[in-house]
Structure 1
Amino acid sequence: METKALKAKAVQVRMDLLRMIHGAKTGHTGGSLSNTDILTALYYRVMNIDSQNPKWADRDRFIASKGHSVESLWCILADLGFFPKEELKTFSQFGTRLIGHPNNKVPGIEMNTGALGHGLAISVGMALAAKRDGRNYRVFCLMGDGEQAEGSVWEAAMAGAHYKLDNLIGIIDRNRLQISGSTEDVMGLEPLEEKWSSFGWHVVSIDGNDMDTLVKTFEAIPFVLDQPTLIMANTVKGKGVSFAENVPHWHHHVPSDAELEKALAELSATLELFKQEGQVR
């Protein structure tokens, strides 16, 4: 998918996830909106995957370590045909597969996640297995910035560098907000880039909501042979919905009927602008 189309697709994913959360009356809205551009770039352009063969041995792997922000991922997997889009209406309902965190009973999900701090360690194991099995697949792991306070993240970071896993890509959704407020007030992280560099990772800091930059960065990996990559994706929590952006309350706020209508109107206007610019039909 071309970059212009990716931008429009990200808007559509945001609209889908807002409808899904509103219908379920539960969800993590802010973080799903912030990570939508990252996931859109990965799933529609960068990763080697096949929705008709989700267990393909040479597929790239994606681990959503910040598993609570699963809504954007569910919408993308449904849109790509990993499961019927109609199933999105069952999100977080009794008996559904589409629970509030990644569930590996669903095609396209590699691992149950959500207990923060575990995803990178899982990803290290997968990347190491690829090296030892002589396979070329890559492992992408999306972490939250609040998650960086977990000690297991740093144990996994040491292991990734030790085993020279240049097929391992860590991504931090650096929106600077977590459930209880600013990351720097809850548990200061800075200088975060320098910390990851000191653990032996090649660090690239980018605008994580800019599709052109995301695609260019992902397609340049690996930057250094025998060294894992850490992408510091600076994002806006609640991205795409003006009254939700950078508002801590929207971490797990469910939009009201009026808020949903207003948010969809904003996103529809953005799509219409893309149409006028020739970015989408």
Structure 2
Amino acid sequence: MPQRRLETVQELAAKAKALRRDILLQVYSAQSGHPGGSLSWIDIGVALYCHEMTVFPEDPTDPERDRFVLSKGHACPAQYALLADQGFFPKDWLTTFRQYPTRLQGHAENHYTPGVEVTTGSLGQGLPQAVGIALGLKVQQKPQRVYCVVGDGESQEGVIWEAAMAAPHHKLDNLCVFHDLNGLQIDGEVKKVMNINPVVEKWKAFGWAVKEIDGHDFPQILEALDWARTVKGQPAMICARTVKGKGVSFMENQAGWHGVAPKTEDYEKALAELAD
């Protein structure tokens, strides 16, 4: 049987707060990982895994499942938190993150981790794989949908824009992509490292149906997902304005927390902020 869906905004927000704690648990336990970008997309992930997608934790390869690809694979602590919450693997795996011989690698690996569709980590490679999966389902006339989360720093990779051309060409209306626009990457502001703006106009020019939202506002996220299902003849792009490090005050909008683990004092402070 597929998972129980969360229906209310209050339920989704409570789940997101709990999973933010699980993200921090992983990175703190390993003293390694990427907290900032994981915290920026977890609200989107909760809406997908807990409300929108059909998944089968007891049989991760069930052909009736929707597919999810985390293109920004270094932000996998959020995906691992979601998968553990859904029952794909025991929650106590989270404390083994990035620690040999863990099954939770520092970048998403499908041959190690139940529920991970494809291996990502080399930036830019997730979206092309999502396009390929969506094309395969379309050719087979299957009803399942494909969802993908792409980073904004990642969108400096040329392969992202090759995939951006391919999806509309093949009229992949079974593909819905979230662009996690938190504005920061490892070296600072995206617009200063390699400006990708104007983002919305670019996706429209490539032939996508585009909606811009606040990526931390659950009503907007859910409405955008409903909208994406109505799009016909082209893929859907949801440009989600997010905050790197969202939910932990001293991490928010700080590029320095891109790939740095909190020490004990910071970890305890963050958990206090995220307490029920």
Name the TM tier (shorter chain).
Answer: over 0.9
- Pair 1:88 & 2:94 matched: yes
- Aligned-partner Cα distance in 2 for 1:71–1:224: 31
SS in 1 for 2:210: strand
- Aligned-partner Cα distance in 1 for 2:125–2:27: 25
- Pair 1:197 & 2:204 matched: yes
SS in 2 for 1:52: coil
- Aligned-partner Cα distance in 2 for 1:116–1:17: 21
Q: Which amino acid aligns with 1:60?
A: D
SS in 2 for 1:68: helix
- Aligned-partner Cα distance in 1 for 2:87–2:75: 20
Q: Which amino acid aligns with 1:110?
A: E
Q: Which amino acid aligns with 2:200?
A: E
Q: CA deviation at 1:98?
A: 0.4
Aligned residue among 212, 235, 256 for 1:228: 235
- 1:51 is aligned to 57
Q: Deviations over 1:102-156 (max 9, x none)?
A: 1112111111101111111111111111111111011111110011111111111
- Aligned-partner Cα distance in 2 for 1:147–1:88: 25
Alpha-carbon contact 2:80-2:104 (below 8 Å) kept = yes
- Aligned-partner Cα distance in 1 for 2:79–2:136: 25
- Aligned-partner Cα distance in 2 for 1:220–1:190: 24
Alpha-carbon contact 1:223-1:229 (below 8 Å) kept = no
Normalization by structure 1: what TM-score? 0.94
Aligned residue among 77, 80, 83 for 1:77: 83
SS in 1 for 2:232: coil
- 1:28 is aligned to 34
- Aligned-partner Cα distance in 2 for 1:47–1:255: 32
SS in 2 for 1:206: strand
Q: CA deviation at 1:220?
A: 2.5
Spell out structure 1 runs of 4+ moving beyond 4 A: none
Q: Which amino acid aligns with 1:100?
A: G
- Aligned-partner Cα distance in 2 for 1:251–1:152: 23
- Aligned-partner Cα distance in 1 for 2:25–2:160: 33
- 2:262 is aligned to 255
- Aligned-partner Cα distance in 1 for 2:33–2:247: 17
- Pair 1:167 & 2:174 matched: yes
Normalization by structure 2: what TM-score? 0.96
Task: Please list, as runs of the form range in 1=range in 2, the aligned pairs for 1:1-281 lying within 5 A after superposition.
Answer: 1-2=6-7, 3-105=9-111, 106-268=113-275, 271=276
Unpaired segments of 5 or more residues in structure 1? Answer: 272-281
Q: Which amino acid aligns with 1:69?
A: A
SS in 1 for 2:227: coil
SS in 2 for 1:232: strand
Q: CA deviation at 1:217?
A: 1.2
Unpaired segments of 5 or more residues in structure 2? Answer: 1-5
Equivalent pairs: percent with the same residue? 48
Q: CA deviation at 1:19?
A: 1.5
